[in-house]
Amino acid sequence: MADTIAPERRSEIMSHIKSKDTSIELMVRRYLFALGYRYRINYKALPGKPDIVFTKKKIAIFIHGCYWHGHDCGSRYAHSSKSNKAYWGPKIQRTQQRDQEHIAKLEADGWRVIVLWECQVRLDFDRIMLTLLNEL
């Protein structure tokens, strides 16, 4: 299926997609901060720049968007691209591969890695936060 939007408009739309400070990241960070937890965000010293890092506890938290990281959860957040599949398929696969490489490096260095998915945070926030607090 061909893209129905002009390339210039598509570029403008894509330029507005955020890579950090997304709504789900802000939800999780506000919740943790309100409970008194202090952390670093987008910590560049670690592979993959985890979204939330507890340096003393050596815990790294990634908050992944279902679409961008290829989560096969069946939720509306994980739809597959209907246009330009030849581009998006390999791009999302490479993102998944890179995610696994980052997690492996962190775990090899003794870090505990927690991955939160957009669908989980949005659809069952309270349960996910209780699980996260148990991990901390």
Terminal CA-to-CA distance of the chain, rounded, Å? 45
- Domains parsed from the chain with CATH numbers: 7-135 (3.40.960.10)
**Single pTM value for the model:** 0.81
Instruction: Compute the mean pLDDT over every residue in the chain, rounded to the nearest whole number.
Output: 84
Give per-residue pLDDT as tens, 47-92. Answer: 999 999 999 999 999 998 877 777 777 666 666 666 777 777 888 8
SS (H, E, C) the chain: CCCCCCHHHHHHHHHCCCCCCCHHHHHHHHHHHHCCCCCEECCCCCCCCCCEEECCCCEEEEEECCCCCCCCCCCHHHCCCCCCHHHHHHHHHHHHHHHHHHHHHHHHCCCEEEEEEHHHHHHCHHHHHHHHHHHC
Reported confidence tier of residue 30, pLDDT bands at 50, 70, 90: very high
Give per-residue pLDDT as tens, 102-122. Answer: 999 999 999 999 999 888 888
Residue 2 is predicted with a pLDDT of: 57
Residue 13 is predicted with a pLDDT of: 65
